[in-house]
Structure 1
Amino acid sequence: MNRYKTILATVFFLLLAVLSCTRDDLNFEGPSQLLRVSADTVFLDTVYNQVRSETYAVKLYNDENKDVLIPEISLKKGENSLYRINVDGKSGTTFREVLLRKKDSLYIFVEIAPVANAPEAIAEDFISVKSAAGTQEITLFSVVRDAEFFIQSKTNPNILSENTTWSNEKAKIIFGDLTLASGKTLDIKKGTKVYFFKNSSLKISKNATLNITGDLGNEVIFRGDRNDPRYDTIPKNWNRISLDENAKLTMNYAKIFGGTRGLELNQATANIENSIIHTHQEYGIYAVNSVVNAKNLVMNNCGEADFGIFKGGTYNIIHSTLANYWDLNPSLPALGLYATNEFNNGTSPEQGALTLNIRNSIIYNKRENAVVFKPTSGQVFNYQIQNSLLKYSTNAGFNFDSNPNVINSLKNEDPKFQNYFAEKMNLRLKDDSPAKGKGNVSVAATVPLDIVKISRLVKPSLGAYQ
């Protein structure tokens, strides 16, 4: 008897559920007014052939005091669209009889997945929302570019084994590590964009050469694969560009941002001009016993230090701005410059002689100190700081005052950048900056134009910007 009661109760509740659902369906009507939308245009990330975009969202709102039935939500170009939408957890191009309760909202998720070999073009389509109240259209907009892929796999070590030139005709997208073989040269021309997937790197082998030749307004860009501007100020989207022993780098008008380390130099030589390196988890430049000549270099927003020098080497930093306003992890030191004779190779410390010249430059941060020198007893640690502005405290590892190696320089004076926040990256000087007109004229003559090609031959200012 109890068994029959249980069965009857189960049947009763099932019938009640079915009837309730049917009743609700019958209560849904066509909307008597247009639905409110969160945006009438959705701008998607720039994408590359065969690579899906991020997922974007737009919301439909039912402001009426009744449940409504939307006859159709669809992509105007249908199956020929490069876009796909997701409504109520289902992906496709057309959805019919979509239910939306009173005073409720509905997400429509959007992504674009362009076909192979798509030329650079504007991809446009529309989400069409049709009802008795009328047809509404939400514009979808994205730029689609052709790209060249370099994909490391178990069967493909991803090595450039011949001299290679990259131009801006196609974006370069790197999965895993791409390695330039020993003794070979990679030339990267102005306007080229190089994108790295998570943990990916460009490796320049021993005795190889990397030439990066950009121009003002047509820089060579190295960044993570996400084009959305919010990723411009997020580090660790990719790994690094590394140069091995006796490798050579010539870099002019490049931008490197969003990695773990920007440049990693291991007994390499680098000539860097008119370039911006910012937003890296550890270092913008990590140099081990290397030779670096930097002119009109701008750096900012690196967790450990903008510029880290280990195991000595030779470094000339001229008319450069090393600011560091890192605020993502306050436990990291966020230095402008760190220099030491020592390097730990993982098993034992190694030492090297160091020569460092800082001229007509700014090294500044929002911490107590922007510069730390850690010389090793018995090792050569030569430095000269000339006509420069430093954020300095007594734990810097050297004396600022009454030091013959510190010449005509300023300490702890706010350089008054126009906007130091990483998303603005405007480290130009305000008119009343104490760094204005304080540069050494002879030093300025060796770098006669600032990073935006303004002459600095008269009353040169400190840093990369006149």
Structure 2
Amino acid sequence: MRHYFVLFTIGLLLAVSSCRTDFDTVASSGNLKFSKDTVYLDTVFKNIGSSTYKLMVYNIGKKDITIPSIQFKKGLTSKYRMTVDGMNGNSGKIFNDVTLLAKDSLYIFIETTADIVDADPTTFLYTDEISFDSGANLQEVTLVTLIQDAVFLYPKQNPDGTKETITIDGKNFEGFHLEENDAVNGNELLFTNQKPYVIYGYAAVPEGKTVTFEAGARVFFHDNSGLVVEKNASLHINGTTSTTDKLENEVIFEGDRLEDTYSFIPGQWNSVILAEGSTNHKITNLTLKNAVIGLDIKNQDASTVEIKNTQIYNCVQYGIRAQNSIIKGENIVINYTGLASLSCVYGGNYNFTHCTFNNNWSSSSHLAVNLSNSLAGATPETKDLSQATFNNCIIFGTNTNELNLSKNANAGFVYQFNNCLIKSGASSTDPNYQFKTDPVHYNAIIVNENPSFSNVNENKFNIEPTSVAAAKGNDAYLIPLDILGKTRTLPPDLGAYQSEVFKKK
């Protein structure tokens, strides 16, 4: 009898519990709560999918409810799509009889892919609402997306289904050559400020041609994309000084994810490559960020690469990697790079004045500046570093040592630092780093003093008049205007910025 009683009890409990189903709910009464009243999906380019955004819906009542419908106000024609607690509903647009337990929540994930013609012609905003229920119980959450028109540049598809490729350093990459008379885009070698440009794959400047970027041009690179300037071709970036934080006259290179969460993420695209044999490069007022290598300069030993008023941030490997090149740099700022902000290897000739080379990367091996006259695997392995001169510069970062001099006795190694602030952990007996007693290589050097930048985490490298770097420059190396176009006082401050009073963040 005991066994029958136990079986009866278990059966009764199972029967009672089985009566509790998802259908034991009441209709929603219009008292849902939402994590947001309006969901702002960040700016997207036309016909390019957005990131995914989350909306939380809460049932704060004591009863399980059924929401009769969750749908876009524009129905099946909406350019938005969503999933509701992992369900796709009708084409990701309409969901019926959605159960929400008492004191529980559900997740709605929202995306969009819209064309510029879908947006309001005056505001370029595309909007819709998510409607919960209807009639007296109707509740709505507004969706807003800014759609940007753009010029899209990408490899053509070959007849066999593969994509067009170009050759870089003996390897094939998806890419294409910019054309002066493209049937759709016209002159692709002139980047204007009329619309942003989005590049897929490598855009190559053909031999003998010059690509020009006008002041205010905006270029967005997709994953694994970049710009390569081929033999006898030239790069001219003609940005000018801006008057607002929008950098309206700056030329900007960055990844094509426009959401704020991507603002400081390195490695979203590859690099700007100045190939061996390319020539006559002039870069002015460029902001480049979130690449693998910012400027990759290869064997430019026949003409000078001029770089002025340029900022390079958040690169996986290098801000500038130069190989046996000639560079004249003024008012350059580089920060947050995985290996070195500036790396000049395999010899060359370099002159940097009023530059700020910082490295705030979180590793124990990164550098702000690396100089070397050798290159492993090259033939020959060494070449003369005929000159590496740094005037009125700041070389700093989070590591103990931010300057590396790698000499090979088989080639020349000529270097000089004048009126610079340098962070170094080198041994006091190392003959390469005798900052105070070696006038051939070092003059008026400030060692291991903090310049007190405004906010390195946000790439703000302004200094105050009280900074140890203020008024420590030499007039002989003066660049009259700083990176922002402000007049430098005498004696000048070190680095790319004229000092000013600011409130630290």
TM more than 0.5: yes
Corresponding position of 2:268: 237
In 1, Cα distance between equivalents of 2:115 and 2:72: 17
Gaps of 5+ in 1: 1-11
Match 1:156 to one of 145, 152, 164: 164
In 2, Cα distance between equivalents of 1:276 and 1:197: 20
Residue 73 of structure 1: how far off its partner (Å)? 1.5
> Is 1:125 paired with 2:128?
yes
> Is 1:272 paired with 2:280?
no
Q: Is the 8 A contact 1:341 1:354 kept in 2?
A: no
In 2, Cα distance between equivalents of 1:100 and 1:147: 42
Residue 241 of structure 1: how far off its partner (Å)? 0.6
Q: Which moved more, 1:454-463 or 1:359-368?
A: 454-463
Match 2:371 to one of 339, 343, 347: 339
Secondary structure of 2:138's counterpart equals strand
Corresponding position of 1:427: 461
Q: Is the 8 A contact 2:116 2:148 kept in 1?
A: no
After superposition, what is the alpha-carbon deviation per residue over 1:252-301, rounded to whole angstroms, capped at 9, x for unaligned?
11111111100100123421111110111110000001111111111100
> Is 1:40 paired with 2:76?
no
In 1, Cα distance between equivalents of 2:347 and 2:179: 32
> Is 1:289 paired with 2:324?
yes
Match 2:351 to one of 316, 322, 325: 316
Secondary structure of 2:76's counterpart equals helix
Q: How does 1:6-405 map to 2 (within 5 A)?
A: 20=18, 24-32=21-29, 34-88=31-85, 89-90=87-88, 91-115=91-115, 121-130=124-133, 134-152=137-155, 153=157, 154-157=162-165, 158-162=176-180, 164-215=189-240, 216=242, 217-218=247-248, 219-247=250-278, 248-268=280-300, 269-327=304-362, 330-331=363-364, 333-345=365-377, 349-394=381-426, 397-404=432-439, 405=441
Amino acid at match of 2:342: F
Q: Is the 8 A contact 1:31 1:132 kept in 2?
A: no
After superposition, what is the alpha-carbon deviation per residue over 1:42-82, rounded to whole angstroms, capped at 9, x for unaligned?
22221111210111111101111111111222222333432
Q: Is the 8 A contact 2:390 2:417 kept in 1?
A: yes
Q: Which moved more, 1:85-94 or 1:289-298?
A: 85-94
After superposition, what is the alpha-carbon deviation per residue over 1:122-177, rounded to whole angstroms, capped at 9, x for unaligned?
22222222367733222222221112222235343411144710112222222222
Secondary structure of 1:343's counterpart equals coil
Flag the 1:35–1:133 CA change in 2: closer, same or farther, 3 A. farther
Which of the two has greater strand per residue? Answer: 1
Q: Is the 8 A contact 2:62 2:102 kept in 1?
A: yes
In 1, Cα distance between equivalents of 2:191 and 2:299: 25
Corresponding position of 1:437: 471
Q: Which moved more, 1:335-344 or 1:186-195?
A: 186-195
Q: Is the 8 A contact 2:382 2:410 kept in 1?
A: no
Residue 346 of structure 1: how far off its partner (Å)? 6.0
Residue 345 of structure 1: how far off its partner (Å)? 4.2
Q: Is the 8 A contact 2:115 2:147 kept in 1?
A: no
Q: Which moved more, 1:25-34 or 1:426-435?
A: 25-34
In 1, Cα distance between equivalents of 2:141 and 2:74: 13
Residue 379 of structure 1: how far off its partner (Å)? 1.8
Corresponding position of 1:6: none
Amino acid at match of 1:44: L
Amino acid at match of 2:292: T
Amino acid at match of 1:205: E
Q: Is the 8 A contact 1:34 1:133 kept in 2?
A: no
Secondary structure of 1:45's counterpart equals strand
- How many pairs does the alignment contain? 444
Amino acid at match of 1:293: K
Among the aligned pairs, what percent are the same residue? Answer: 35
Amino acid at match of 1:95: F
Q: Is the 8 A contact 2:238 2:285 kept in 1?
A: yes
Match 2:448 to one of 399, 412, 417: 412
Q: Which moved more, 1:396-405 or 1:341-350?
A: 341-350
Q: Which moved more, 1:217-226 or 1:405-414?
A: 217-226
In 2, Cα distance between equivalents of 1:86 and 1:387: 60
TM-score (norm. length: structure 1):
0.89
In 1, Cα distance between equivalents of 2:222 and 2:163: 19
Q: Is the 8 A contact 1:86 1:92 kept in 2?
A: yes
Gaps of 5+ in 2: 1-10, 166-175, 181-186, 499-505
TM-score (norm. length: structure 2):
0.83
Amino acid at match of 1:31: S
In 1, Cα distance between equivalents of 2:256 and 2:147: 14
Residue 383 of structure 1: how far off its partner (Å)? 1.5
